[in-house]
Each structure stands twice: as C-alpha cells, then as structure tokens.
Amino acid sequence: MLSITWLGHSAVHVVLGGRSVLFDPFLTGNPSYPENALDRLGKIDLICVTHGHEDHLGDAAPLAKQFGVPVACNYEISVFLSSQGVENVEPINAGGSIDLLDLHIAFTRANHSSSVHEDGRARYLGSPCGIVVRSQDDGFYHAGDTDLFSDMSLIRRLYRPRVGALPIGDRLTMGPRAAAIAQNEFLQMEAVLPIHWGTFPLLTGTPDVFQSEVNRGQVLRPKPGETIEI
C-alpha cells in the first residue's frame, strides 16, 4: 500500500516502504497549498527535487534544516543547497541511482530547463530530471516538469513504477493530451496523479481533459491536502 498526498502544484508527499518522501516542496507562495497541510502529515524522511525552478525547489532548504533530512537532487542543486547551509545533500544525475533509507532512488531524463533567479538573472541549476523512488515491492515516479518523450517506455522497463505524477498544465510542460499518451503508451502505471495545473493562469491544461484521454490505469483526483491510499 502506498499513500499519496497532493500538496498543490507539483508538491507531492508519498509514503512507501514505511518512508515519508516529499517531492518538489513548493509550499511558501503556492496558492494551491493548504495551510499547515505538511504539519498534519507528520515526519519527513527524504526530500526529492526534480529541478531548480522556484516552484519546485521551493522550501527544500528550510525543510531540510527543520527535519534534518537528506535532499536528493542533481549535482548543481546540491552545490546550491550546500551554499545555503543544507548539510545533507545527495547529488544524483539522470541515469544514476542510489540506495538510501531502504529505498532505491533513480533519476531519469526530463525535457525542460532548470534555474533559479538571483538579482534579476537566471542562475543555471543543472539538467532537470524525473525521479523514481522504489521500496522493496512498490514504486513511485515523479516526472517533474517535462515534455512527452518516447523513452518514458524505458522508465517503465527499468524501474516499473506502479503509481506516478505527470504534469498536465501545458505551455511550460506537456499538456493533458501528451501526458495521456505518456501514460497510455509508455508508462502504463496502475494510477497517475495529474500535477502542475491550475496554479497560475499560464497553466491551461485540466485534469478533466487528461482523464478523458487516459485509457490505462486510474486517474487520481484528490483535493490539495487529501491523502489517497492505493
């Protein structure tokens, strides 16, 4: 059994293998984040960050310090977080993996960009990634921000995620139709959570369109802060 809580935008909390994992913790400034929702979920064991944009890197540094937990991220983000006083960072790039906290953490390809704004300029923070976290008998895939690409079939072949989260907002990531193709043809997960939609006016893709296009697996439709066990 895996529990999944959508915290708005692309922030997702998952419990698998007895470990509590927080992905892309954009909480402060996230209009979809329910106040104090993270507090109600209890402990955090691990933070995973897919790329450096503020709406994904978010509160990774203060939360890592608060909970004293490792942050799994690409190499450039690990350097950036270390400069902010985060002591426990685990750099992983696409194609790499580590075993940590009785979990197997693998970073995969994603088609996007990755930077943080400093003094009105964009600072490059390495290549964006997707992340698969596996326990002994279950797996969860967070695609981060990405376009559709056919090598998603290799993610299924290599890591067999049972449940996942795919962006559907369009404009800055793939839209609902492309995300449905990712699920139907390449990933074929048992259940999929649409993320990165509705937070800002630019994101026009909707879960209704996504669900209408998906013909494999269950589309999860929790409210922000609601926990689903699957």
Residue 95 pLDDT: 98
pLDDT digits (tens, 9 = 90+) for 44-102: 999 999 999 999 999 999 999 999 999 999 999 999 999 999 999 999 999 999 999 99
Is residue 163 a contact partner of residue 183, using CB atoms and an 8 Å limit?
Answer: no
Strands (E) located in the chain: 3-6, 12-16, 19-23, 46-48, 71-73, 89-91, 97-100, 103-109, 115-118, 121-124, 129-134, 139-142, 163-167, 191-195, 218-219, 227-229
Q: Collapsing DSSP states into helix, strand and coil, what is residue 134? A: strand
Q: For residue 68, count other CB atoms closer than 10 A to its CB.
A: 9
Q: Collapsing DSSP states into helix, strand and coil, what is residue 183? A: helix
Residue 152 pLDDT: 98
Taking residues 27-52, report their average pLDDT. Answer: 97
If one looks up domain 3-224 in CATH, what number appears?
Answer: 3.60.15.10
Domain residue ranges of the chain, discontinuous segments joined by +: 3-224
